[in-house]
Amino acid sequence: MFSLLRRHDSVHGIQISRKSESQHFLVCGATGTGKTTALRDMMYYAKSCGDVCVVHDPKREFLAEFYDEQRGDVIMDPTDDRCPYWSISDEVTDLADAISTTRGIYPSHPNNPHAQFWDDSACEISAHLVCEYRPNCEEYGLWLRDESEIDKRIKGTEHAQTLTKNSPNMRAGILATMNKAGRPLRMMPTLKEGRKKIVLREWVKERKGWIFLPNKQDTREALRPLQSMWLDMLMLRTMSFGRQPKMKRIWFFLDELASLNTLPQLHSGMTEMRFTGSPIVLGIQNIASLEELYGKLAETICSQATTWLLLATSGKAGGDFERMIGDQEIMRMEESYSYDGGRTRRTFSFRETRKPAVLGSEIAGLVDLQATLVQRGKIVRFDMPFTPQVFHNNPHIPREIPRLEPLRPTETAGEANTTQGTEEPTFPELQKTLEALAKAAGVPLPAVFQAEPNPEASQPEEAHHLASVQRDLEALAATAVGGDVA
């Protein structure tokens, strides 16, 4: 039994059944109205139950109050020196799993269907790269900055047609979409730094320690793709793992939900995660901010929360909740009088009327730390006690992120990997390699390659001759190895 907004030494509070806890919470309020106070109280309750939490912390204040290294807590922030080593390849088992994972980086845009093609293509190509080649974050981030690394890994697949150079605009759009994840992936700690390792799918099974995903205004934009993907992945794994009555529950605290990317699994989580017993707590300032990310699904997502905690809001948010809560039926008694020959007659009648159960102006007019609780037709207004925060930890320990050297100016995209650190092969070297490949393919060496190039030829002619040799060498190599050119 959860007593909302009750400190440990108090007997006051609003009792919420354990069954209702897993049916999710919505906490809505403008800045400074008490939203953080309510979320902190729920975290203290989860801690007292021995449950674990996944906390999106957009101000780093929850980390400072609740982080406990001895408990096994994890900080998923590559700008923080306490961030563990994490590899995207460790999270996937097959191609279907990889598509679900990369969808968190390249989500859909309900309000912009024209962007769907770019996101779908980026998601599928990324899933192929992660599933087939198993890169770590550093490797994958470097591939995304050099399109030649991608080209050689999709050669011979259906994705080669999607990234065809015959459609440069389409190719550029897909590569640009893919590269949204490049910078945050390259920020992640590398294996050689010797940090402890975390695999999120294993964490969902073990449920040891809390996971914090902190950011601030200066890092939020850079970390948004990664932290959104992690949250989406954790919800997906929790639903896939199913109900485990003997295990700790996982509380998801998504404060300032609108500051994240669209979470593809959020709608499914709000409708399906209740059977796992794991609560989701959404912290928002208004529904309009969610509509930009989720379109018409925004109201559906909010309505799936059984318990609403509404604080003072601004704009039309109060009117939105007035409409979503609905009307109440009131039976009114009406009294009337009539006069007949000096006699007065009094009659009574009853009439049903409807009016909003909660007026939008009432929600907008709440003072700070005053809330309206709505749960399945029950509406209660109450005052929340103010409890000062107690910070036990450093909210941020800066980590020095290695600077990535830019590509050489002479290297164009697609040429960087083939030119860096290599010299132009000589004719004898090409001829020797060609002879070996011709022997392996069981075909005679073409006569044109059996003679030395003309020593009196000019440099352009020599270069043209070697280029011709190189092209035929690659064609013969394809015959020798069954169509794959090394």
Tell me the per-residue pLDDT of 26-54, one tens digit each, with 9 for 90 and over: 999 999 999 999 999 999 999 999 999 99
At residue 16, the pLDDT reads 85
**pLDDT-derived band at 243, boundaries 50, 70, 90:** confident
**Averaged pLDDT score across all residues of the chain:** 84
Q: Using CA of residue 295, residue 299, residue 305, residue 309, what is the dihedral sign?
A: positive
Q: Mean pLDDT across the stretch 1-14?
A: 49
Q: Percent of the chain scored above 90 by pLDDT?
A: 56
Tell me the per-residue pLDDT of 346-369, one tens digit each, with 9 for 90 and over: 888 888 888 888 888 888 889 999
Tell me the per-residue pLDDT of 98-123, one tens digit each, with 9 for 90 and over: 999 999 999 987 777 778 889 999 99
Tell me the per-residue pLDDT of 172-191, one tens digit each, with 9 for 90 and over: 999 999 998 999 999 999 98
At residue 427, the pLDDT reads 60
Which has the higher per-residue pLDDT, 376 or 253?
253
At residue 454, the pLDDT reads 53
At residue 26, the pLDDT reads 96
Which has the higher per-residue pLDDT, 201 or 408?
201
Assess whether pLDDT exceeds 50 at residue 411. no
| Long-range residue pairs from 190-198, CB within 8 A, at least 24 positions apart, any chain | 190/85, 190/136, 190/137, 190/138, 191/85, 191/87, 191/136, 193/85, 195/83, 195/84, 195/85, 196/84, 196/85, 197/84, 197/85, 197/86, 197/87, 198/74, 198/76, 198/84, 198/85, 198/86
Assess whether pLDDT exceeds 80 at residue 437. no
Q: Mean pLDDT across the stretch 458-468?
A: 52
Tell me the per-residue pLDDT of 122-170, one tens digit each, with 9 for 90 and over: 999 999 999 999 999 999 999 999 999 999 999 999 999 999 999 999 9
Tell me the per-residue pLDDT of 466-485, one tens digit each, with 9 for 90 and over: 555 555 555 555 555 444 44
**pLDDT-derived band at 410, boundaries 50, 70, 90:** very low
Assess whether pLDDT exceeds 70 at residue 79. yes
**Structural domain spans, the chain:** 20-86+189-312+366-422, 110-187, 423-480
Architecture of domain 20-86+189-312+366-422: 3-Layer(aba) Sandwich (3.40)
